[in-house]
Amino acid sequence: MIDQSLVLAGIKIVALVGGIMTSAAYFVLLERRVAAWVQDRHGPNRVGIPLTKIRLFGLGQPLADGLKMIFKEEYTPAHVDRRLFWLAPIVIMAAALAIFAVIPFGSSLPPIPRLGIDEPIPLVVAPMVDVGLLYVFALSSVAVYGVKLGGWASNSKYSFLGGLRSSAQMIAYELPLGLGILGIVLTSSSLGLNDIMDRQSSTGVWFILSQPLGFMVFLIAAFAEAARLPFDLPECEQELIGGYHTEYAGMELLLFLTAEFIHMITASFLITIMFLGGWHLWGLTGAPDAALTWPLALLRIAVFNAKIFGVIMFFMLVRWTWPRFRFDQLMTLAWKVMLPLGILNLVTVAVLREVLHPSHLGSSMSQGGQLMLECTVGWSVAIGAWALVAWIGPTVSDNHPRLDVRSMEVDPQI
C-alpha cells in the first residue's frame, strides 16, 4: 500500500513546481507591462490564442516566448568546456527549485476524512524540517557555483568577468543577508519558517515593526543576491554584453533566466514570511491555534499570496525606477554599510532579549509593554543608524556618475 504522506508530498511537489514555473513566466509578462507603464510606452499586449484573433491582453506572450526558446538552436561554441558548460544551468535551476521544499505557501488545510486524511495538511513539501532557514541559505549559496561554472566554462572574457563579478557580489551580500534575520531567529527561538510566522501571528506584531533595521538590511541584500536592478552588475549589458551567460542560447539560457527570476520569487516569500507576518492579517486570519476551517484556510492562502504579490511588484518598480550602482559602490555598500548595520541589529536584539528576560525587566512588564519597548528601540536604532550612515558617507548611496574635475578644462567652481 502506498504511504499517504508520500502521495501528499508528490501532489505538493507537482503543484508547487508547476505553480512556480507558470508564475515565473507570467511575472515576466507583468514586469514587461510594469516597465512599459513606468517608461510611458506600450508593453506586450497583442499575442493571444494562436490561429485566432483573440488577444487576451497579451497573455499568450509567455507561451510564445517559451516555444521560441524551446525551438531555438542549441548551439554550443567549440571553445567551451562542454561538461561544465551544460552543468552550470542545471545546478542553478535545481538549487532555485529545491529551496521551496521547506518554504510554506500557506498555513494548513483542514482534514479530509473522506480521503482518509484525519490530520491537517501542512502547505509545505517537507513539514518536519526544523532548520528551514539553514536549508534555504545553504541552497541559495549553491547558486553561486552555477554562476561560476557558467562564466568559467564559457572560456570568454565577458563571461569570465561576469562570473567573477557575480561571485564577488553574492558572497559580499551573504553575510548581511544572514545578519538581517539572526535577530528574528533570536526572537522566535527557532529556525523553522512556520514557527517564525506563528510567533508573529500569536503576538500580532510583525517583525518589520519590531526590527525595521533588520528588514532594511535583508531587503537590500536580497536585491543584490537576486542580481536585480540596481544591483544587476553580473550581466550589465553596457559593460559585459550578457555577463556569465553570454555564450548561452536556447533552453540553457532559459534555465539561467528562469532561475534568476525564481530567486526574486524566493526572496519575496522569505520577506513575507519573516517580516510581514506570513499568512497573518489582523482581525481576519486568527491565531495559530484557531479552529481550522476551509474558509479560514483559503483566506490565509489568499492573504499570503497577496503579500507576496505586493513584494514582487515592489521589486519590479525598483528595477525600472533606479539607475544601476557602480561595482565599487556595490562593494562599499556591502562591506562598509550593510555588514555593520546587520551586526548592529543583531546586537540590539540580543541586548533586548537579555533585558526582557524574566530574570530581569521582563518579570515586571506585560507582553504588550515588552512588544512596545521592542518596537520603540528597533525604530530608534534604525533611524539613528541610517542617519549616521548618511552623515558619515553620503556618497555611498549616490550612484550618479562622477566626473574628475581635474581633467576638465572648465573652471571646477562652475
In a domain, 372, yes or no: no
In a domain, 331, yes or no: yes
Instruction: Name the residue range of residue 246's domain.
Output: 75-110+121-356
Residue 399: the pLDDT is 56
pLDDT (tens place) for every residue of the chain, 414 residues total:
456 777 787 888 888 888 888 888 888 888 888 888 888 887 777 777 766 777 777 788 888 888 888 888 777 788 888 888 888 888 888 988 999 989 988 888 888 887 777 788 888 888 878 888 989 988 888 888 888 888 888 888 878 887 887 777 777 888 888 898 999 999 998 888 999 999 999 888 999 999 999 999 999 988 888 877 778 776 665 565 667 778 888 888 888 888 888 888 999 999 999 999 999 999 888 888 788 888 998 999 999 999 999 999 999 998 888 877 777 788 888 888 899 999 999 999 999 988 888 777 767 778 888 889 999 999 999 999 988 888 876 655 555 655 555 554 544 554
In a domain, 334, yes or no: yes
Contact 354, 377 (CB under 8 A): no
In a domain, 373, yes or no: no
Number of domains in the chain: 1
In a domain, 318, yes or no: yes
Rounded CA gap, 258 and 266, in Å? Answer: 12
Length of the chain: 414
In a domain, 361, yes or no: no
Judged on CB neighbours under 10 Å (0-12, 13-18, 19+), 173 is: buried
In a domain, 186, yes or no: yes
Beta bridge partners of 108: 122
Number of Cβ within 10 Å of residue 112's Cβ equals 13
Rounded CA gap, 111 and 108, in Å? Answer: 9
In a domain, 15, yes or no: no
